[in-house]
């Protein structure tokens, strides 16, 4: 049976949530419910998932409660360390996407970062593979968004995945058929 690899750039999602949406460090109730991301991927493509959650551990310490929580919901935490000038999470994700080229399976990347466009584009171009991007649509890099024309499916972390327990204060384009005036009253 095929697998969907769910590759999470936790730093990117957290930074976007904090600096671009909330303008503050997210409180626990404002953070994504990561188990919903795995459930969404499994249900969307009707196959098992393997969640890979990348973390920057260059400081030498591990956020053990968070790592234990990730493991409990089915993610494999990947705490990477490197030199201060290295973007360890980006390097790890790029290497993982490159390694997936030689394996069967589908891929959902959870990030806004255009640094992955080349590697993800290679996977998108494989006609035997489904590829998806989970992000806040309005913050997705143009280089990742350009892959939609080549077959990348996109999913909004809040709207499509329903990964939050609260409504986020996002300003985004609302298709008229999705407009709910009660949300604003």
What length does the chain have?
185
> Tens of pLDDT along 135-179?
999 999 999 999 999 999 999 999 999 999 998 888 777 778 888
pTM of the full structure:
0.92
First to last CA, the chain: 47
Query: Which CATH number is 55's domain given?
Result: 3.40.50.1010
Give the pLDDT of residue 179.
Answer: 87
Range of the domain at 134: 4-184
Structural domain total, the chain: 1
Count of alpha carbons within 13 Å of 49, Cβ hemisphere only?
A: 26
């Amino acid at each position: 049976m095929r697998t969907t690899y769910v590759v999470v750039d936790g730093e990117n999602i957290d930074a976007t949530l904090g600096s671009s949406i909330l303008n503050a460090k997210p409180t626990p109730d404002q953070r994504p419910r990561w188990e919903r991301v795995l459930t969404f991927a499994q249900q969307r493509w009707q196959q098992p998932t393997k969640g890979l959650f990348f973390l920057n551990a260059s400081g030498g310490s591990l956020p053990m409660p968070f790592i234990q929580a990730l493991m409990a919901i089915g993610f494999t935490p990947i705490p990477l360390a490197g030199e201060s000038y290295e973007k360890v999470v980006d390097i790890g994700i790029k290497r993982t996407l490159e390694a997936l080229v030689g394996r069967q399976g589908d891929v959902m990347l959870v990030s806004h970062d255009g640094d992955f466009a080349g590697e993800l584009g290679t996977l998108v171009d494989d006609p035997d593979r489904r590829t998806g991007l989970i992000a806040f649509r309005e913050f997705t890099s143009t280089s990742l968004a350009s892959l939609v024309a080549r077959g990348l499916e996109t999913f909004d972390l809040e709207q499509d995945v329903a990964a939050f327990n609260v409504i986020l204060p996002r300003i985004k384009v609302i298709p008229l058929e999705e407009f709910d005036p009660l949300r604003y009253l």
